[in-house]
Each structure stands twice: as structure tokens, then as C-alpha cells.
A and B are shown apart, each in its own frame.
Chain A
């Protein structure tokens, strides 16, 4: 410190030379912002979930009714179960499809790597609603596939019109790019020469993948899985427009509490359950990430 004070003698300059203070000035504004505008609101719905609503107004009377309704009424549990199954299915489909694609780009993309991977991510930026509109015009009753079939005198494919399959295709369409991106970023830092070593040691390609590539890239893969799982579990717009009458998912019902019915407290409780479930999945996957085997050295910066 003494050496530094000789350089900057003004009080302000002295403050500036304090490294901890500079670190705090730079990193804290955003951190405080996230705590105030993301974490605090999420905490507030936990509080509201123990209140009740009367004719569109929240009333601060502590009770457990919302949770009792949600956990005893089979409808809500059914929707939660359906959403969970959908999220697992969509994550698995995305994973199985994205891995080979990300692998190809990372290993053989050469100087076109960046543009190849950005091309998979770019549609994400056009927003959920326009992407749902787009996929609906391929799958739906007046979608390209079924219109083509009927025009040429064939039976339309029922399963593409307003079904859970259509919702699943739509959700893969929305979120699979995240999986490609996450796995790609992980493989980018993966040393492919390790595979040559495995080969020299006599491992067949599949064994080398299972014992080298997969565990060493599990961290990036896990992030990809979570990035697909979380928004799928909460999806409300996609099932509404692709799933039809019977295709409603948990998110659709959750959205309903804040729209037509105006049952804020019940909706908050639904939100808390959704958040808790996502958190359990994230923590579960995080525990499965073996940091040592993932090649994580803590020196990524």
C-alpha cells in the first residue's frame, strides 16, 4: 500500500488504488441488480404463496391452502407429471441429436466452426412466439405437411395436429440449439488427441467415447441438459398452440392463474413448486458432475 500511496496522493486516487474496492465497484452493481430484480421477486412469490386471493386482490392471511389444493387435487399433479415427462423427453431427444452435431463442428469444423455453431443458435434470437408460429405452419392442421398430404389425396397425420408429439417437436425446435451450443463450447476445450492415446492403448471408438469424451465433457453436457430442461418444464405458449385442448401442460395452467382467474396466491404457489422442481433437477445434475473427472481445473479465466 505505501508504495501505491506515493503514486496517488489524492484521497480519491488512494481509494482507487485499493484492489478489493475496485473489484467490488466493478462486480457488485450487476450482482446487486440480480439480487434485487431476480432473487427478491422469486423470494416474494414464496411469501405470497402462503397468502390468499379474494376477487383479484392478495390478502395477507397466512395459510397452507394453496399447497393443500395443489398437492391433493389430482389435476395439478397430473399436469406437473406431464410437464416433467415432456421435459425429460425433450432434453433426451435434444441431447442425442445435439451431441454428434456439436462433435462434428468442434472436431472437423476448422475455420468454419464459429459460423456453423452460430447458425444453429441464431434462430433462438427471433423469439418464442415467432418460432412457435413458424413451426405451427409446418405441423398444424393447416400446416405444410398435412396440407400437402390432403392435397395429394392422402390422409393427414393426426399426431402432428394438436398433440403432445407436436408440442415435443416444437419444444425441441425451440431449445435444442442451447444443447448444441453448450456441448460445442465444452468440446472446444477438449483435447481430441486424448482419443488417439486411447486408440493406441487399444480402446475401440465407442469405448473411447464412453470412457474419455463423455466424462471429460460431462460438465458442458449437464449445462446443456439443464438449459433445455428448465424452459421445457415451464413451457406455456408452445403446448397452447401446438398441443391443442388436451395438450395443456403445467405452465399453461400456471399462466392461467395470472390471467383469466386472477388467483395470484395459488399461481404463486404453482410457481414455487415449479421453481423447486427445477432447482432439485439442477442440484441433482450438479451432484452428478464429478469436477475432477470433468477436467475442471478452476483456471478457466
Chain B
């Protein structure tokens, strides 16, 4: 690297301060809510007085368990469908040349550029007006899978760009049938990408508000419960709910990160 002159060093210091401030801006509110969830007094919790009452309140909330189950179902369904569609698409697009390639990539990314409220209302209207189907968990899973596929596609594409497809060809040369090649060569080498895509779309659908709300109506999910609570002025159990969900999300992300970092899972071939 070239010698760093004073002007450039100043720039790096300035940018580092901006990065640090961005982290504080992004994380301080989250940690403050977690802090509030353990506080007796939620308006001005200084000096701190610890309590677990809010978590007990959450436990006694009637629709909390139902919401948790529904959110988990939506997350699992969306995660599985998204990872499946995205995996097939990425493998197809990376392995084969086609004149439809660019168009397909645009199509797979397009859900990222549609606002969630539009996906929510349009699937609601489509289900009611065209399919004559009431909003339920399956229809919510399908609606969430639209943008889920886009995110899963990005995650898998980023990982599989480095995958060496000659491994598959080698297996075929040695006489493995396509199915066996998939199970014994492709899958063992690519599953971290699949898991990452599944987890990202799982978490996004689990926490989705706009799409789930319009599709489900009165059926509760954790985000719609949180939304309802927030509408009627903040209740302390909301802090507990937010803390639990935040903790879960970060736990999943940290696990995934260390899975990828340590040698436990390695991606295909690297130079």
C-alpha cells in the first residue's frame, strides 16, 4: 500500500468517526429498549431498578403464544420456499448460458424494488377479488416469499459465485448420476449458502408487518401484536417482546457468522 499522506489520514479518521457514529445510531436504540425491558420505571429508568415483571406480563398475554406460533410458521414456510426457488435459479443461471439470463436476474431482483405495503395490499386484493381465498397463513407465506426469494437469491448468488462447478463435472465423469452428484457433491459444498438464505428469509418473514398484516387481518403474529400494542400507547410488555425478538435475531446471525468463519463449513473450492 502506498504511503499515507496527512490529508488522507485525516480523511480516514473522519470516516472512522462517521462509521462509529453510525453504529451508535443503529444500535443504541435497540440496546436501550432491552434495558427498558428490565426496568421498573419505563419513562425515566435512572437510577436502574431491575424487574422481570414485563416478561411475566408477556407470558400471560393471551395472543402472545398464538402470535409466536404464527410468526414461526410464516418464517419457516417463507424461508424454505425462498431458499428452494433461489437455489434452483442461481444454479441454473451460473451453470448455463442463456439469452434470458439478464432478464431472469432482473425478475428475481425485482421484488426488492416493490414497497411492502404494495405487496401487502395487492396480494390481499388478488386473493379476495380474483382467487376468492380468505387471508390465511398459507397465503401469507406465499406473499412473503416474493421478496424472500429476492433476498435468498442475493445471498446464494454471493456465495456460489465462488463455487467450482468442475467438482460436479468430475463426479459425473466418474459415473455419478445427477441425483447422486447433487447429494454427494453439490449439496455438501453449498449448504451454508442455502442455510444463510433460509435464515435471512426466515427472519425477514418472521418480523414482517405490512404483508402479514394485510393478509391475515385479525390473526395475530408477533409484529402485528407489537403494532397493536404501540397503537394503544406503549405497554411495558412490548419492551420484553422486542428484546426477545432482537436477541433471537442476533443469536441466529452470530451463529451463522461463526459457522462461516470457523473451518466448520467451507465453501467449495477457493484459490
Interface residues, chain A, CB within 8 Å of chain B?
Answer: 16, 19-20, 22-27, 29-31, 33-35, 37-38, 40-42, 44-45, 48, 58, 97, 100-101, 103-105, 108, 115-116, 118-120, 122-123, 125-138, 142, 144, 147, 151, 173, 176-177, 180, 196, 205, 226-227, 230-231, 233-234, 236-237, 241, 251, 254-255, 258, 264, 267-268, 271, 274-275, 278, 282, 298, 301
Contact = CB atoms under 8 A, between A and B. Distances in A.
A231 B253 CA distance: 24
B44 A227 contact: no
20 contacts: A23-B98, A25-B88, A25-B92, A26-B91, A30-B108, A37-B123, A120-B26, A125-B207, A126-B207, A130-B226, A130-B242, A180-B22, A205-B7, A227-B112, A230-B114, A234-B115, A241-B230, A274-B115, A278-B113, A278-B114
Contacts of B242: 130, 133-134
Contacts, number: 239
A127 B208 contact: yes
B159 interface: no
Residue from B104, B117, B143, B208 with most neighbouring chain A CB atoms (10 Å)? B117
Interface stretch (B57-65, B124-132, B263-271): B124-132
A137 B85 contact: no
A295 B263 CA distance: 35
B149 A33 contact: yes
A267 B111 contact: no
Residue from B7, B15, B32, B110 with most neighbouring chain A CB atoms (10 Å)? B15
B33 A134 contact: yes
Given A30-B149, A125-B200, A134-B33, A233 B115 contact: yes
Contacts of B143: 37
B16 interface: yes
Interface of chain A, main secondary structure: helix
Interface of B: 2, 7-8, 11-12, 14-16, 18-19, 22-23, 25-30, 32-33, 36, 43-44, 81, 85-86, 88-89, 91-96, 98, 100-102, 104, 107-108, 110-119, 121-126, 128-130, 142-143, 145-146, 149, 153, 161, 178, 200, 203-204, 206-210, 214, 223, 226-227, 230, 234, 238, 242, 245-246, 249-250, 253, 257
B125 A264 contact: yes
A245 to B, nearest CB: 14
Contacts of B209: 127-129, 237
B121 A271 contact: yes
The 5 closest A-B pairs by CB, nearest first: A127-B207, A26-B92, A234-B115, A30-B85, A41-B126
B253 A31 contact: no
Interface of chain B, main secondary structure: helix
Nearest to A275: B118
Nearest to A257: B121
Contacts of B245: 126-127, 130
Contacts of A38: 110-111, 114, 119, 146
A125 B18 CA distance: 22
B226 A133 contact: yes
Contact of A27 (B89, B204, B223): B89
A16 B89 CA distance: 16
B123 A29 contact: no
A161 to B, nearest CB: 14
Nearest to B111: A38
Contacts of B178: 16
Contact of B126 (A35, A44, A130, A227): A44
Residue from A27, A45, A48, A135 with most neighbouring chain B CB atoms (10 Å)? A27
